[in-house]
């Protein structure tokens, strides 16, 4: 006999969120890791889809390419052409809404295996404090193999002024 889910269990099941596949290739030298895509991103199946998220503006400044005007697939191709990959620390989790502070019962991605599969990877950058805190734990001792950069979140929920975010994001420029 099938038992209906308790309303609370059903509500929690509805809040389980999954990350997207990594956007990487064999030329990836910089991997940017977020925590877990927000509601707008999940609804559009696109990294950083919220119109107020500054990721595409920030990365456009870093790379010297106006990413914001490009269609999504072209944005991803532009990142890859510049040796930049994207993924998330959290593979899946319970989360009501988009705030990292609401992440519960998470399963983390295998960052160590992904990083090891990228022969040119030199830098791992974390988009936001939660991504950095969790990601450095997931990487463990393997974090020592890479230059680690913790960036202020590109999310509109993190209210640091754009100019201050940009100043720190410019650390991603190739040296």
Q: Domain spans of the chain?
A: 20-172
Q: Which of 92, 95, 91, 102 is nearest to 15 (CA)?
A: 95
Alpha carbon distance, N-terminus to C-terminus of the chain: 63
Helix (H) or strand (E) holding 84: strand 84-88
Q: Model confidence over 29-49: pLDDT tens digits?
A: 999 999 888 888 989 999 999
Query: For the sheet containing 16-18, what is the strand order?
Result: 16-18, 90-94, 104-108
Rounded to two decimals, what is the model's pTM? 0.88
Q: pLDDT tens for the chain, 175 residues: list them.
A: 444 544 554 444 456 889 999 999 999 999 999 988 888 898 999 999 999 999 999 999 999 999 999 999 999 999 999 999 999 999 888 878 777 677 788 888 999 999 999 999 999 999 999 999 999 999 999 999 999 999 999 998 888 899 999 999 999 996 5
Catalytic annotation, residues: 53
Domain 20-172, CATH class in plain words? alpha beta
């Amino acid at each position: 006999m099938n038992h209906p889910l308790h309303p609370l269990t059903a509500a929690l099941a509805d809040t389980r969120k999954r990350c997207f596949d990594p956007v990487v290739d064999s030329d990836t030298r910089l991997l940017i890791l977020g925590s877990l895509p927000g509601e707008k991103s999940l609804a559009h199946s696109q990294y950083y889809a919220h119109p107020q998220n500054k990721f595409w503006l920030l990365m456009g400044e870093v790379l010297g390419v106006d990413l914001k005007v490009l269609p999504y697939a072209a944005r991803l191709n532009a990142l890859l052409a510049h040796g930049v990959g994207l993924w998330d620390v959290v593979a899946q989790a319970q989360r009501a809404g988009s705030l990292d502070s609401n992440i519960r019962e998470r399963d983390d991605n295998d960052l160590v295996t992904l990083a090891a599969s990228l022969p040119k990877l030199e830098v791992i950058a974390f988009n936001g404090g939660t991504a950095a805190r969790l990601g450095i734990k997931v990487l463990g001792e393997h974090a020592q193999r890479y230059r680690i950069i913790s960036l202020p979140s590109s999310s509109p929920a993190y209210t640091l002024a754009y100019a201050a975010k940009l100043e720190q994001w410019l650390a991603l420029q190739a040296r």
